[in-house]
Amino acid sequence: MDLVKLFVISVLHVCLVGCQSTQSSQQASRPHPPSGGSSNLSFPWSRLRLPRYIIPIHYHLLLHPNLTSLSFTGSVQIQIDVQNNTNWVVLHSKGLQISKATILDQNFEHLSDQVLPVLHNPSHEQVGIFSPRVLSSGQKYFLYIEFGAELSEKFFGFYKSTYKTSTGETRVLASTHFEPTSARLAFPCFDEPSFKANFSVRIRRSPEFISLSNMPIVKTLEISGGLLEDRFVPSVKMSTYLVAFVICDFKSVTATTSSGIQVSIYAAPEKWQQTHYALKVAVKMLDFFEEYFNIRYPLPKQDLIAIPDFQAGAMENWGLTTYRETSLLFDPLTSSVSDKLWVTMVIGHELAHQWFGNLVTMEWWNDIWLNEGFARYMEYIAVEATYPELKVEEYLLHTCFAAVGLDSLNSSRPISSTAENPTQIKEMFDTVSYDKGACVLHMLRYFLTDTVFQSGIVRYLRKYSYRNAHNQDLWDTLANVRITHIRSIIHSNVTMSQCNKLHMHKISMMSTWTLQKGIPLITVTRKGSKLMFRQDRFLRTVLPTDPLCFLWHIPLTYKTDVSNAVHRHLMTKKTDSVHIGDDISWVKVNTDMTGYYVVHYEDGGWDEITKVLRENHTALSYKDRTHLIHNAVQLVTAGHLPLNKALDLIGYLQMETHTVPLLQGLGYLEAFYSMIERRNDHNLMHNLGVRGQTYARRHILGFFRGIIDQQTWSDSGSVLERRFRSEVLSLACHLNDQPCLEQAKQSFKNWLQSNGTLNLPTDVAETVFSVGAQDEHGWNSLFYTYTTSLSEAQKHKIMSALASTKDTNKLHRYIFFPLVFAQGLWYVGSCAEGGWEPTGHHLAWNFVKKNWNRLVQKLMQLFFESIKEQISELRAVQIALDNVQKNIRWMQRNLEPLQNWLNEQMKTKKDQIELLHE
């Protein structure tokens, strides 16, 4: 049953992420019989990727969206460069009704007196336009196409979005989301990242709306029918997936960067006051990136707009970045400090893309990590530099922990992977591209030094500006900078052969991290004065059956108790060693987790680490302490370390004062408890016993009693203290801690009595709402507030709180709430994965079973049809199966040890109480 559950969850996830574009345009017309007696023509192209002999140069695009009929018409004139003699132009189109197609020469003379035949290949999302007259190699032509379609009901292509005013009025806008393969839903185009071109956009609209696109408006004309036509400045060369336009009635705030770039934040009129923080961040970030990259932002303006219906977190369209409202808007009265950090990081991510992704774009989607890995890493660098008070450095640890979680499954993939069809391309936007990509870059930066790393990426950006790059191009540039740096340091005449050898060594090192999947496990053993290393692939599931040997070039770092110095060693073999001397008591490998690898200490090594943490934990940095907790638990999951060893290590946390390792350990203890709680397995209950379950909960509360009691129900303190408070009080109430529950209930009662005018402390509001949602009146009151609130931050907290109830009737009502069923279906997925109370967990599974046909009809039918030949190959399914196996093996290995450990803790506690009474 668990296999089926996770399979369904995975398909829901893939469908929610990717099938909207597949679904909306499988309605693409069947192949139309060509006119003019050419009905015997067959489609001229059989490959998924377009032919390279026709290159787009400039698009002249006219669009007229009708927000009443929810449809749009348009025309596009594409200047093309023909590089082989041909009668055919093949490009992308999906879901568009093409009414006219013609080709003109450079003098704008028609090549044919008749409308040209247009053939469709829906399976490849392509159209072929036939010219009776040969298009000659070396000549330029103009392809002109008229088309129309309905505005999409999904979140891809050119789609309809809506929002409600405070008076309940529904207003409509139209927006775009084209990455990776959905520009073809809005206009016929060469929809591949390497076909960069300039775009001149015109948009027709009613006067009550405004229109936005990548570039500023150069002029607005009045045309017939009371319409206005906005004409935008021609764009720089860019890929089709970065084109964007929005037609809406939003308001904005505007400021200017130090270099004169106009920055504007757009939002629904009644949410205009929530845009001011984003404006400050965007201006500051653009200034930072211009200085860091030493390349001016190439557009005259940068708009950021909060779209009410938006599935991704944000999108980096050049000059017009689009965001979920929760990713851009900040309300000081309802947004927590975590919300503020999230908004800051997302803006940093999207603005980093203006260079990494927009200025320099990957050649093909197999190297999407060049966009996303860099943007994910640069958001940390940018926030750390511009808002140091937000303490963003801890999030890099969690980013790498997330990457390890996926990369330690058999179903992982290399950072640079094959991706051809749209389904495979969508699957590339995953933890590997984003998080592992960022962590490998962090390791590389630490290995090369900050100076060399920054110089290398600046050189890379300059060399490939307005062009496309491969994975190898980045490595070549960084390796060359490294060689130049070394030569300048040693002031010697390094020979060409030595340079080439060094260059190839760096290339080889970097390729081991991007061209093979997985993460290394470094096993550390002490042999006298030597430290021995062995590398293997770290897997949390069954060992792979294929005989291929995994070998990485690993920049190892380590610290010892005799010095604060960080020692470095590049490991390029299966086994290796370094001399450390005889007077070393302990060694910590992977200093501050600057390297992307898991470390296991054999022959009593973990006992030595545990002793250090218990006797003098500050001998190690907070990052090292957090890393040790993470490694220990991962090794337990993989069967390399007994559970009691990891729990003994976590026991040092009673002396810990830093919030990051505290939260890491707290999270794992909660995860162990929740795993037992949510299983709802009679055999498990019998083996562990209700008493054991209760003690597990009491043990966690007792373990952190002092920390819990120190927390205030306020927004006071540093950023780290506020985030810690939010997590600790949430956990305490979840574990039924009576003082926590009483305070939350009183706060909720006060909030209700104030009729919502009392502003709860933002960092504990979600906990207060979750406790308040447990009774009938509280749940209904929150449900009403959700439907009327203008704060997306508050609505997000309420939505999570509503889902926390144990009342199945309320959960049933919640799941079928239209806003949840439409955009919020991911809540059902998170519920089924275990994010809610056990009651909700099982209800969500029953919901999926009972409503399978409805879900299929709404989301999946055409998605399944489009991938029926490759369903068994979907990585999401493979990951789900791997996770099932991992969880089963964890319970098999650790249920009895967990029971024994809890019994031992209960016995120890009992003995202590008896001693006190004596």
Q: What is the pLDDT of residue 837?
A: 54
Domain boundaries, the chain: 54-249, 250-481+495-516
**pLDDT computed for residue 673 by the predictor:** 75
Pairing of strands 251-256, 467-469: unpaired
pLDDT per residue over 743-799, tens digit each? 999 999 999 999 878 999 999 999 999 999 999 999 999 999 998 999 999 999 998
Mean per-residue pLDDT for 559-577?
Answer: 93
Mean pLDDT of 141-163: 96
Residue 249 has pLDDT above 60, yes or no: yes
Domains 54-249 and 250-481+495-516 agree in fold:
no
Stronger pLDDT, 689 or 708, i.e. the higher one = 708
Beta strands in 41-125 (DSSP E): 54-66, 71-82, 86-92, 97-104, 118-121
**Could you give the CA distance from residue 425 to residue 900 in angstroms, rounded to a whole number?**
47
pLDDT, residue 192, reads: 98
How many Å separate Cα 843 from the centre of its chain?
28
Q: What digits encode the pLDDT tens for the residues 485-540? A: 544 444 444 444 544 554 456 667 788 999 999 999 999 999 999 999 999 999 98
Res 624 pLDDT > 80: yes
The answer to whether the beta carbons of residues 354 and 289 sit under 8 Å apart is yes
User: What's the pLDDT band for 655 if we cut at 50, 70, 90?
Assistant: very high
575-579 sheet: strands from edge to edge: 575-579, 530-537, 520-527, 598-601
Q: What is the pLDDT of residues 388-433, one digit of tens each?
A: 999 998 889 999 999 999 999 988 999 999 999 998 999 999 999 9
Q: Is 752 exposed, middle or buried (0-12, 13-18, 19+ CB in 10 A)?
A: middle
Q: Which residues are designated catalytic? A: 350
Q: What is the pLDDT of residues 311-328, one digit of tens each?
A: 888 999 999 999 999 999
686 assigned to a ligand binding site: no
Q: Peptide bond before 520: cis, by omega within 30 degrees of 0?
A: no
Question: Are 647 and 699 within 8 A, CB to CB?
Answer: no
The pair of structure tokens assigned to 494 is 């390094």
Supply the mean pLDDT for the chain: 86
* Token pair in block for residue 488: 């300048």
Q: What is the largest CA-CA distance in the chain?
A: 107
Q: What is the pLDDT at residue 885?
A: 74
Q: What is the mean pLDDT of residues 107-134?
A: 94
Question: How far apart are alpha carbons 846 and 832 in whole angstroms?
Answer: 9
CA distance linking residue 844 with residue 601, whole number of Å: 41
pLDDT of res. 704: 87
Is 503 among the annotated ligand-binding positions? no
Q: What is the pLDDT of residues 193-236, one digit of tens each?
A: 999 999 999 999 999 999 999 999 999 999 998 999 999 999 99
Contact yes or no for 268/308 (Cβ under 8 A):
yes
The whole-angstrom separation of Cα 510 and Cα 507 is: 5
CB atoms within 10 A of CB 579: 8
Q: How confident is the model at residue 23 (pLDDT cuts 50, 70, 90)?
A: very low
Give the model's pLDDT for residue 148.
98
Percent of the chain with pLDDT over 70: 82
Q: Which CATH superfamily is domain 250-481+495-516 in?
A: Neutral Protease Domain 2 (1.10.390.10)
pLDDT of residue 860: 57
Name which of 317, 321, 243 is nearest 278 in CA terms.
321
User: Rounded distance, CA 744 to CA 764, Å?
Assistant: 9
Using CA atoms, how far residue 872 sits from 7, 9, 365, 877, 881, in Å, is 11, 15, 22, 7, 11
- Mean pLDDT across 663-675: 84
Q: Which of 171-180, 471-480, 841-850 is least confident? A: 841-850
CATH: 2.70.70.10, 2.60.40.1730, 2.70.160.11, 3.40.630.30. Which one for 54-249?
Answer: 2.60.40.1730
Q: Considering only 117-121, 542-546, 589-593, 653-657, which range has the smallest mean pLDDT?
A: 542-546
Q: In whole angstroms, what is the distance from residue 612 CA to residue 661 CA? A: 15
Confidence of residue 122 (pLDDT cuts 50, 70, 90): very high
Q: How confident is the model at residue 27 (pLDDT cuts 50, 70, 90)?
A: very low
Distances in whole angstroms, Cα of residue 757 to Cα of each of 336, 754, 785: 17, 5, 12
**How many H helices and E strands in the chain?**
30, 28
**Angle, in degrees to the nearest 10, between helices 643-650 and 622-638:** 160
Cα Rg of the chain, angstroms: 29
pTM assigned to the model = 0.89
| pLDDT of 733 higher than 60 | yes
Note the pLDDT tens digit of each residue in 848-897.
Answer: 555 555 555 545 544 444 444 454 456 777 777 777 777 777 777 777 78
Alpha carbon distances (Å) from 846 to 344, 381, 625, 674, 803: 38, 44, 41, 20, 15
| Residues of the chain by 3-state class (helix, strand, coil), percent to 5 | 50, 20, 30
193: Cβ contacts below 8 Å, ≥ 6 apart: 239, 240, 241, 361, 362, 363, 364, 365, 468
Q: How confident is the model at residue 695 (pLDDT cuts 50, 70, 90)?
A: low
| 372 is known to lie in a ligand binding site | yes
DSSP character for 544?
Answer: P
